[in-house]
Every structure is written in structure tokens, then in C-alpha cells.
């Protein structure tokens, strides 16, 4: 009898650390994130340690490029992916992600406005959003444009920095903005803008860099861009132009990879991002938080939201390709 008890105690003393180690390994959540979240200037450096300390869940954060590159990686890996959660897929490419995600009815949904919920099955849940806009240098001496059509006025010849929709999501945002506003006649706006464009940059960083260097007084960006300058440069010189006809929006979502064995951990991470993480994400990304209860710094007073918001969730990839092809032909003429 004593030998039996002793043997049981030995087995228990060996089994406990082994199972604890296994549980520790199983507790690690793998998150695929887009570059502006996981990069040096992104919010992940602060938020991931906060989440790990709060929950005891370890996170392996994988930087997977921009939103399109991250989506392509998930498609390529399929059921063999290591990811449990993906963060940063935008509403306009969401349809490509749905087959790889499973729904989650987070209790935080009650604090997210209906207008942001682009997926009725909640496979992708909005965590932040922004509106594309032109940013104007108020000290440039050039008149403040009042609308998209006003931007085509001859007085802005060579004064506007645009961005290529073939290489940038921001550039694509403007293209879809004009398409949603003008329909098939969007070509007319671009024809009129050709002379007013100083350049068509390949990406947002290069475009905004030219703008802040004073190469042109108007640049394509976001309504939230002034927040950075208020918080970091203590200036209100750069102002987002809010047009009465409305603005194209981009909504970023977070979702759980289908078949994950870390479902509870994934839910905890999403709930954290949608609550404790909202203000830090908004500040780091210069975006609006999806959770309407989020308290933001006063600097966001300089990021007014437009009354009308367009989204391109219903425009599929073939239609986008056709619109881009038309744009390419128009700008080449």
C-alpha cells in the first residue's frame, strides 16, 4: 500500500511540471498584424505587454506587411497557418478573409456604432477607422479648397500631391472616393486634376514627406493627420479639409482564425483591443477608435469627422481592377 502511494506521489511530482509547461506553450497566442500596428512606431510595443500582464497570456506578434500582404499570407497558408488572430484587414478587402475566420459576438459590439459594422456575421470586428481627406498647409498663402470639385480649379495647378492607387491603399481610397461620389463620371474629375497634381507619389509616406518639406501645400491623407502635428509639433498649421459631399472611409478589423485551438485567448485579446487598447491605437495610428466610449486627448478636436461617409465594402476585386485600369489609361493620356 505504501509503495502504491509513493509511486503515485512520484508520478504526480513529474506530471505537474510537464502539464504546466504544456499549458504554458498552449497559452501562447499568435497574432498576425499589419506593419503600422507591429512596427517601431505602432501601438503594439505598449499594448502587448499590457495584455500579457493583465491576462497571463503570452503573445507571439508576427509582422506580416501591409493589410493586403497579410491577407495574401493567410490565403497562402490556409489551414496550416500559425495565426490565431489577425488584426488590420480593411473593410474593402474583407470579403477575401471571411472564409478563413470564425464569428465572435464580443460584448463590446454594443459600444461600436452600427455604421462601422461591415460584417453582419462579426468575423471581422472594427477596432479603428479613418476618413481619407486632403490636408492643407494653412500658412501656404493659397486659398483653402471647399470641395473635391473646387480642387480642380486652375489656381491649384501643381499644388496638390496625389498618391498612386496601384501601389497605395490611400491612393486607392481617393480613387474609390471619386467613384462613389461621381459614379462612372469619376474620370472627369481625374482629367481635371492632372494639371493640378505636382506628382503622383507611390505611397503615403513619400507623399506626406514632400508635403511637410513644403513641396506643395495640399496632400492626400486622412482627416486625423492634424492630430500628429498637434501632439508632436504643437502646431495647428496643417488642417484636414472636410468637404460637404462626404468622404471615403477605411475601417480596420480584427478577427479569429477559423479552427484555432486558442479560442478563449483570442477572444480575450480582441476584447482587450476593443477596450483598454482603443486610445493607444487611435493615438499611434492617428485614427478614430471604433469603441464610442473611448476617451481621447484634446488633440482629436482637430480631427473633425465628416457628416457623410462612403465605404467600398460592396465593390469586389474585379470591379476595383477595372476602375484602376480606367484610372491608369486616364492619367496616361
Ranges for all domains in the chain classified under CATH 3.40.190.10:
28-129+250-302, 130-249+310-332
CATH assignment of 130-249+310-332? 3.40.190.10
Of 42, 84, 37, nearest to 64 by C-alpha is 37
The contacts of residue 189 (CB under 8 Å, 6+ apart) are 148, 149, 152, 178, 182
pLDDT in tens, 233-243: 999 999 999 99
Q: Calculate the alpha carbon distances from 96 to 52, 179, 247, 320 in Å.
A: 30, 21, 24, 13
pLDDT in tens, 121-144: 999 999 999 999 999 999 999 999
pLDDT in tens, 60-116: 999 877 777 888 888 998 889 899 999 999 888 888 899 999 999 999 999 999 999
Q: Which band of pLDDT confidence, cut at 50, 70 and 90, is reported for residue 41?
A: confident
Task: Specify the pairing of strand 125-137 against strand 218-222.
Answer: antiparallel
Domain 28-129+250-302: CATH superfamily, name plus number: Periplasmic binding protein-like II (3.40.190.10)
Range list of H helices, 78-234: 169-182, 186-193, 204-212, 225-228
| Alpha-carbon span 22 to 169, nearest angstrom | 42
| Alpha-carbon span 324 to 27, nearest angstrom | 44
Is residue 196 within 8 A of residue 151, CB to CB? The reply is: yes
Amino acid at each position: 500500500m505504501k509503495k502504491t502511494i509513493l509511486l503515485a506521489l512520484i508520478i504526480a511530482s513529474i506530471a505537474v511540471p510537464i502539464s504546466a509547461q504544456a499549458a504554458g506553450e498552449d497559452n501562447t497566442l499568435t497574432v498576425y498584424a499589419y506593419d503600422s500596428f507591429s512596427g517601431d512606431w505602432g501601438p503594439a510595443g505598449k499594448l502587448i505587454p499590457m495584455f500579457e500582464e493583465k491576462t497571463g497570456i503570452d503573445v507571439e506578434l508576427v509582422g506580416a506587411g501591409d493589410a493586403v500582404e497579410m491577407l495574401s499570407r493567410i490565403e497562402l497558408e490556409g489551414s496550416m497557418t500559425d495565426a490565431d488572430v489577425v488584426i488590420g484587414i480593411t473593410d474593402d478587402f474583407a470579403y477575401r478573409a471571411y472564409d478563413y475566420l470564425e464569428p465572435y459576438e464580443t460584448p463590446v459590439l454594443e459600444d461600436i456604432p452600427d455604421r462601422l459594422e461591415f460584417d453582419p456575421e462579426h468575423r471581422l470586428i472594427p477596432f479603428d477607422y479613418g476618413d481619407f481627406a486632403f490636408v492643407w498647409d494653412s500658412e501656404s498663402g493659397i486659398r483653402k479648397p471647399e470641395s473635391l470639385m473646387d480642387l480642380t480649379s486652375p489656381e491649384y495647378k501643381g499644388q496638390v500631391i496625389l498618391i498612386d492607387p496601384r501601389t497605395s491603399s490611400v491612393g486607392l481610397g481617393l480613387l474609390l472616393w471619386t467613384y462613389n461620389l461621381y459614379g462612372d463620371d469619376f474620370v472627369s474629375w481625374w482629367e481635371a486634376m492632372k494639371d493640378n497634381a505636382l506628382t503622383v507619389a507611390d505611397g503615403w509616406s513619400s507623399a506626406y514627406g514632400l508635403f511637410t518639406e513644403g513641396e506643395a501645400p495640399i496632400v492626400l491623407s486622412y482627416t486625423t493627420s492634424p492630430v500628429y502635428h498637434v501632439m508632436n509639433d504643437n502646431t495647428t498649421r496643417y488642417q484636414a479639409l472636410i468637404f460637404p459631399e462626404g468622404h471615403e472611409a477605411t475601417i480596420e478589423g480584427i478577427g479569429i482564425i477559423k479552427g484555432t485551438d486558442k479560442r478563449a485567448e483570442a477572444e480575450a485579446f480582441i476584447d482587450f483591443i476593443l477596450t483598454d487598447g482603443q486610445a493607444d491605437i487611435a493615438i499611434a495610428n492617428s485614427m478614430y477608435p471604433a469603441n464610442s466610449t473611448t476617451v481621447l486627448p484634446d488633440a482629436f478636436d482637430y480631427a473633425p469627422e465628416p457628416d457623410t461617409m462612403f465605404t467600398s465594402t460592396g465593390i469586389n476585386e474585379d470591379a476595383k481592377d477595372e476602375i484602376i485600369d480606367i484610372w491608369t489609361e486616364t492619367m496616361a493620356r
